Every structure is written in structure tokens, then in C-alpha cells.
Amino acid sequence: MNSAAPAGEPDVTCARCGVSAAAPPPLTWTCSVENRERRYFCEGCARENLRAIEGRLDSAWW
């Protein structure tokens, strides 16, 4: 199984801490749409801010 990102598909970066992962994002990452922009959050950032994410607060608030 090839774990590299398909050609033309860029790596994914956590919008909070900046850690990168190969596209598509790992299943443990969270995706949020804020101001019509898709943002991904790594597992660590998602766990730390779970209540704010579930409360649908923009990431600027947390």
C-alpha cells in the first residue's frame, strides 16, 4: 500500500499548531469549515479543544 499523497494533492497542515500530514488527512484529524474555508486540526489540537469544536465556535475563540 502506498502512503504517499496522490499527484496534485498537497499535504494537509493543522490550522492550530502547523504539524503536517500526507493527504488525505488521517482519520483521527478533525475538519472544520470556517468562513467558507476548510481547516484541519490534528488529533492533539482536536482533543485539547473538543468542547469548543462541538460547540461550533470558530477557532479564533479557542
Q: Classify residue 47: in a domain, yes or no.
A: yes
pTM for this entry? 0.74
Q: What is the DSSP letter of 24?
A: S
Q: Classify residue 29: in a domain, yes or no.
A: yes
Q: Classify residue 31: in a domain, yes or no.
A: yes
Expressed as residue numbers, the domain containing 21 is 12-54
Q: Classify residue 1: in a domain, yes or no.
A: no
Q: Classify residue 3: in a domain, yes or no.
A: no
Q: Classify residue 48: in a domain, yes or no.
A: yes
Q: What is the DSSP letter of 14?
A: B
pLDDT per residue as tens digits for the range 16-58: 999 999 999 999 999 988 889 999 999 999 999 888 888 888 7
Instruction: State the total domains in the chain.
Output: 1
